[in-house]
Amino acid sequence: MSPAFPGTAAGVARAFVAGELRATDVCEAALDRIGRLDAGIRAFVTIDADGALAAARALDARPDRAQVGPLAGVPVAVKDNICTRGLATTAGSAALRGFVPPYDATVVERLRAAGAVIVGKTNCDEFGMGSSTEHSACGPTTNPWDASRTPGGSSGGSAAAVAARLVPVALGSDTGGSIRQPAGFCGAVGMKPTYGRVSRYGLVAFASSLDQIGPFGLTVADTTRVLQVLAGPDPRDATSARDGVPWEPVLDGRVRGLRVGIPRRWLESGVEPDVSARFDAALDVFRGLGVSVVDIELPHARHAIAVYYLVATAEASSNLARYDGVRYGGRVGGDGALTEMYARTREAGFGSEVKRRVMLGTFVLGAGYYDQLYMKALQVRTLLTRDFDAAFARVDIIATPTSPTTAFRLGERLADPLQMYLADVFTAPAPLAGLPAVSVPCGFSTEGLPIGLQLMAPRFEDATILRMADAYEREQPWWRHSPPGLFLEGTSTAGRGRRRAGEPLDGGVDGDTDQRERQQRQQHREEAGHGHGDHADDARDDQDRQEHQPQHQLQQEAEQQERQEDQLQQQLQQAPDQADDQQAAKDQDAQGQHIEHGTLASSPRPAAPGYEPCSYPVTQILRGRRPEGSGGPSSGGAA
């Protein structure tokens, strides 16, 4: 059994400061868990084992532990479209194969300064273009709750890493829902801050007026803790807010008197029954907290998907013009003119979804269509923003499901891009209006799949939605459920029950749940139409019973869970037999995979059905030297 550590970022930081844990032990535990489980999940594309352990040892050597920072010793994963100095950043694209940035993104600098230990980079849709993490040069990531389903996208790797408890927190980026939608699919908390709240310096650009970096966490408190580290003006990002907006979120569970608006007409069609049921149950929880729930109108929200895919593709066609084989990434040489080299390089470097969006964006900006399509989309974007302004004159928060469906199956929507795009129907409006939005788990479907609740607030009211999300989480702590078979050592009985107003914002690791609270939760379930047979309810009841079992029984269950975990990993991992190292090496060469100065974390993964084999390593563990001759920009700036 690997070393144990608290399941939340706040718990890790508090234990480190108190001298109860070494950062090295926490890092080793995270790396061990990643090594055992990620072959089936495929959340990571690069694991920086040596760099993470070196950072952890440096933290352990500091005498002033209390001054390290709010993320002291916390393992963090970073989406692969955020630049990390000396660590490969590919944005999930063959076009950036071998690119190792010479600088850190601002958010990475701030993570390191706060004491975080960056363990690796996570998989994503190529350049952030996708809703399922299937459009990656590394192949798809799987959902920890069901390996046959997508984790969402484009930040699916980060969401899956948090949901599987590989790391307690991670960074993603959100353009049209790429943090919130995978958070909803994977049962994590995902936050898209107000546009300008967090610096975009060092983020590989997709659509510059929409892109925003944000955190994933197991709990709202953890997500808030990371966002407090990331937020703030940056002189290197002209779009970062410089007006000194106060940022002091108070997570005390007190939300009585707040008003929540529900755009009923927008939710009338296309929402799965399980999603509607869990959303209505969440509204009942709000009412029980003294929150007013009222209907509102967002007349232009139904046009959000059309507007988003005109604006975003237009900006993408401009941003991706830099990948020409001269300034960034690789080059496909040969005879012919310079423009032919451009064409060959982009044909080889870009995947089908990126090509589709670049072509659409170029068409939108073309002569004769600019006014008809692009300018019209900008006008409707303004109308949508005015709709939100009018709604927020009546309410403090707007609530919707995060997605109209639960996680769909891998490959199910690849042949129908429009259906794929509609997965963002509830998440696309917030970035178009520059609003903060958060997804928090609100239950499970009858198939046992997570369902997310989305909360939106006026610009720079990030603290308001976090306070509301935290209050809901105290009543309904769905985050305590972990995916079947993915057992978290050391926390099997930690923190059962709700966090009460005034308690520390540490995710609750005191194991204090009484009979009255269980009865209240059962009453909430019955009111929502779910009985004891519901998957999520059974899991919660099992956890509650564990609190009163003898310690030796808990140990036996822990060992049994670990055996089940190993069996699940064997079922998920469709890799060749690794018994013969020489044969595995031959298989690697046969697939055209090669790493200079590195080794694969496991034998090569075969391509999933419908996907081409990776053109570069799926998961690499960096040891010793960093890759040399990586190319890329010679100075800082968003790639």
Residue 376 appears among annotated catalytic residues:
no
pLDDT tens profile 233-263: 999 999 999 865 666 778 999 999 999 999 9
140-46-141 Cα angle (round to 5): 15
- 309 assigned to some structural domain: yes
- 82 assigned to some structural domain: yes
Domain count, the chain: 2
pLDDT of residue 111: 98
Helix (H) / strand (E) containing 398: strand 397-401
Residues 255, 282 contacting (CB under 8 angstroms):
no
Same domain flag for 212 and 280: yes
Same domain flag for 181 and 268: yes
pLDDT of residue 635: 31
Residue 154 appears among annotated catalytic residues:
yes
Same domain flag for 399 and 328: no
- 519 assigned to some structural domain: no
Instruction: Return the structure tokens found at 476.
Output: 């309904």
Same domain flag for 440 and 471: yes
**CA–CA separation, 463 vs 455, rounded Å?**
12
SS3 content of the chain, % helix, strand, coil (to 5): 40, 10, 50
Low-confidence residues of the chain, pLDDT below 70?
1-6, 243-247, 486-639
Query: How does DSSP assign 562-611, residue by residue?
Result: HHHHHHHHHHH--PPP-S-HHHHHHHHHHTT---TTEEESSSPPPPPTT-
Tell me the CATH number at 556. Answer: 3.90.1300.10
Same domain flag for 216 and 282: yes
Nearest to 476 by CA among 260, 261, 281: 281
Same domain flag for 267 and 290: yes
**CA–CA separation, 155 vs 439, rounded Å?**
13
Query: How does DSSP assign 38-76, residue by residue?
Result: HHHH--EEEE-HHHHHHHHHHHHT-S-GGGS-TTTT-EE
Same domain flag for 362 and 216: no
Q: Determine if residue 456 is left, alpha or beta; phi over 0 gives left, psi from -120 to 50 gives alpha, anything else beta.
A: beta
- 47 assigned to some structural domain: yes
Q: How many CB atoms are located within 10 Å of the residue 558 CB? A: 18
End-to-end CA distance of the chain: 41
pLDDT of residue 560: 53
Q: What are phi and psi of 450, to 5 degrees?
A: -65, 150
Q: Three-class SS of residue 150?
A: coil
- 518 assigned to some structural domain: no
Same domain flag for 55 and 168: yes
Same domain flag for 293 and 331: no
pLDDT of residue 181: 98
Same domain flag for 285 and 329: no
Same domain flag for 47 and 153: yes
**CA–CA separation, 317 vs 311, rounded Å?**
10
DSSP 438: E
Strand locations in 84-179, DSSP E? 117-122, 169-174
pLDDT of residue 563: 55
Query: How does DSSP assign 215-252, residue by residue?
Result: EEESSHHHHHHHHHHHBS--TT-TTS--S--------S
- 607 assigned to some structural domain: no
Domain boundary among 536, 551, 567: 567
Domain boundary among 348, 381, 414: 381
**CA–CA separation, 410 vs 49, rounded Å?**
30
Contacts of 624 (CB under 8 A, 6+ apart): 50, 597
pLDDT of residue 98: 86
- 512 assigned to some structural domain: no
Find the catalytic residue in 93, 131, 132, 154. Answer: 154
Provide the β-strand partners of residue 600. Answer: 620
**CA–CA separation, 355 vs 499, rounded Å?**
48
Find the catalytic residue in 79, 93, 131, 482. Answer: 79
**CA–CA separation, 172 vs 161, rounded Å?**
11
Residue 121 appears among annotated catalytic residues:
no
Same domain flag for 354 and 470: no
Find the catalytic residue in 178, 240, 403, 439. Answer: 178
Instruction: Return the structure tokens found at 577.
Output: 């037999």
Prediction pTM value: 0.80
- 599 assigned to some structural domain: no
Instruction: Tell me the residue range of the domain where 294 lies.
Output: 9-301+382-504+525-567
